[in-house]
Structure 1
Amino acid sequence: MSKSLLQPEVLTVPVPGGDLAVLRWPATVPEAPTVVAVHGITANGLAWFEVARRLAGRATLLAPDLRGRGASRAVEGPYGLARHADDVAALITALDLGPTVVAGHSMGAWVTALAAVRHPELVSRVVLVDGGVSFPLPEGVHEGDALAAVLGPALARLSMTFPDRDAYRAFWQQHPAFDADWSEEIDAYTQRDLVGTEPELRSSCVLEAVQTDGAQVLLDEEAGAAVHRLPCPGELLWAERGLLDEPQALYDSKRIAAAGLDPARVVTASLVPDTNHYSILWGRAGAEAVVRGLLGEGPVAG
């Protein structure tokens, strides 16, 4: 399949409060499965472009824009991880997919685990990509400060305006986790986020949605417990580096061991070398690991 940008189909699914926009990359082989992929807190469905390319038609990939983001910006609240999990269930139900493999990146991993727990009849397996496993905040750390520290520029941009699309492109090209991998596909993903008109373009992300969802990633007991209550097999993949490409990643082997994951639920937990929080989706090593998870092929040996 060509390295050039894959153009997904766009469909909508009714959910409480509006119509959820869903990107669809169709399979090209007979009787291929359908998988659902859930993006992170300030992202949109196009974040899964490289996974779609490397699936190479072996599965249909459905990637919604979560409510309050992208083309689902107008879907009304309330927001929250459980609401997104129920939206994923509504998508699976509306398209009559039956038990489905669901993957989630970053915040989407918590949403994915919650979807499985809340709707076990609809989810057959989960793939959690650099997210889904919670740890208590350090004593004395406020949730707002923790959220800003974790998300960095991704959160700061929500209060910014941009005079034109080139200015927004330049903003993202300066991001330390993006600059080395910049491509036509990453450009399209970031540009999908823009709404408004020049000279006042802004992110599509609704600030209330991000604040609500972010606080729940950090503190919500139901969301934190979901990975420990999975009713189906799960796979966890984590990046070697962090959100700003820094050596301190969200997870490491010690933190994963301390989480006490049930091996009967999270059947594999694997580091994906040479990836950061973002390139685990669109770098070669990361996207191939995610594809293997989606297709049930397991981690690469060695």
Structure 2
Amino acid sequence: MSRPPLLPEESTVPVPGGDLAVLRWPANRPEAPTVVAVHGITANGLAWYEVARRLAGRVTLLAPDLRGRSASRAVAGPYGLARHADDVAAVTAALGTGPAVVVGHSMGAWVAALTAVRHPGLVRRVLLVDGAVSFPLPAGVPAEDALAAVLGPALARLSMTFPDRDAYREFWRRHPAFGGDWSEGIDAYTQRDLVGAEPELRSSCRLEAVRTDGAQVLLDEEAAGAVHRLPCPAELLWAERGLLDEPQGLYDHERIESSGLDTARVPAALVPGTNHYSILWSPAGADRIVRGLLADGSAAG
């Protein structure tokens, strides 16, 4: 196992519907910039543990649990990507130091782009990790079928119960995208998701939140258009392989070109040897994310 992740501080920020939980890895110096990190559709703030470890205090890293997940499970709806973007803006305004870099993974990348569009004064740069670029549904494919195909495995997990924490641990250790790798950080991230009591532990993610957010990732025009209307510098990083470690990832050069993304404004870079999950915590993925976050040199020293 790798060494354990840096233990973050935990706080809350008031938002409409409740208090949003936020993990905070503080910087080593008070003048350091702020990075706000937005997790994926069924994840939580500890998804960023390896990025936090490798940043090593060069920035203050804020990672909220989005409403309807983990320690923000009790924050009421409505859900949706614009609502999450406004929540991220509230976190940035309450806990940040000046305009922040916002990084998002998977669904969080759409949220990061929307945050910049809706709250340009709070965001100076965005880093989009294996998300934010949308494609039209294939001809003849109903929206509900596309949604079921994308969310099917996640929705199945949300309906499951587990007799104890070891059972949930083994569920994730068998996930094909993990490739047999495990660490104390991955363990802490997956365990943070559990709620309830033995023998009926379950994922903290609220089904309504996941369904609402997933539909908007596929179908919402404002979310799809955000990456094309960014008011600040941006970069897209994409994983070589997919959600189940399949050879075809969400993106490739041809798909990015066909999306109409202006890669002169939003450069797009492959992160070799990563899949949709490991791009966050493998050495190759986490190091590349850290380089992207520190690209303007403002966190040097």
Q: Which residue of 1 aligns with 2:79?
A: 79
CA distance in 1, matches of 2:264, 2:230: 9
Residue 291 of structure 2 aligns with an amino acid whose one-letter code is: R
Distance 1:264 1:70, change over 3 A: same
121-130 or 155-164, larger mean C-alpha shift = 155-164
1:42–1:155 Cα contact (<8 Å) kept: no
- SS of the residue 1:121 aligns to: helix
TM alignment of 1:178-217, pairs within 5 A: 178-217=178-217
| Aligned residue number for residue 14 of structure 2 | 14
* Residue 113 (structure 1) aligned with residue 125 (structure 2): no
What does 1:1-302 align with in structure 2 at a 5 Å threshold? 3-29=3-29, 31-95=31-95, 97-263=97-263, 265-266=265-266, 268-296=267-295
Tell me whether 28-37 or 167-176 shows the greater mean CA deviation: 28-37
Deviation of the 1:258 alpha carbon: 1.2
Between the two proteins, what is the percent identity of the paired residues? 80
Deviant stretches of 4+, over 6 Å: none
Change (3 A) 1:11 1:176: same
Asked whether the 8 Å contact 2:34–2:98 carries over to 1, the reply is: no
Shift of the 3–245 alpha-carbon distance from structure 1 to 2, 3 Å rule, reads same
TM-score by length of 1: 0.94
Distance 1:164 1:173 in 2: 15
Local SS of the residue matching 1:232:
coil
The TM-score, its normalising length taken from structure 2, stands at: 0.95
Deviation per CA, 1:147-187: give whole Å up to 9, x if none.
Answer: 34334533310111111111111111111012422111111
Question: 1:263, CA displacement in angstroms?
Answer: 3.8
More displaced 10-residue stretch of structure 1: 120-129 or 155-164? 155-164
Q: Distance in 1 between matches of 2:195 and 2:255?
A: 38
Matched position secondary structure for 1:61: strand
Looking at structure 2, the residues matched to 295 and 145 of structure 1 have their Cα atoms a distance apart, in angstroms, of: 40
Q: In structure 2, what is the Cα distance between the partners aligned to 1:54 and 1:297?
A: 17
Q: Name the Cα RMSD after superposition.
A: 1.5
Contact between 2:239 and 2:279, CA under 8 Å: does it hold in 1?
yes
After superposition, the Cα gap between the structure-2 partners of 1:183 and 1:151, relative to the gap in structure 1 and judged at 3 Å, is: farther
The C-alpha deviation readout for 1:202-250, integer Å capped at 9, x for no partner, is 1000000000000000000000000000000110000000000000100
Amino acid at match of 1:126: V
Instruction: Answer yes or no: is the 8 Å Cα contact 2:22–2:45 preserved in 1.
Output: yes
User: Whole-Å Cα distance in 2 between the matches of residues 219 and 294 of structure 1?
Assistant: 29
Is the 1:153–1:175 contact (alpha carbons within 8 Å) kept by the matching residues of 2?
no
For structure 1, which runs of at least 5 residues remain unmatched after alignment? none
Describe the shift of the 1:30–1:13 C-alpha distance in structure 2 as closer, same or farther (beyond 3 A). Answer: closer
Is the 1:150–1:243 Cα contact (8 Å) retained in structure 2?
no
Q: Secondary structure at the match of 2:176?
A: coil
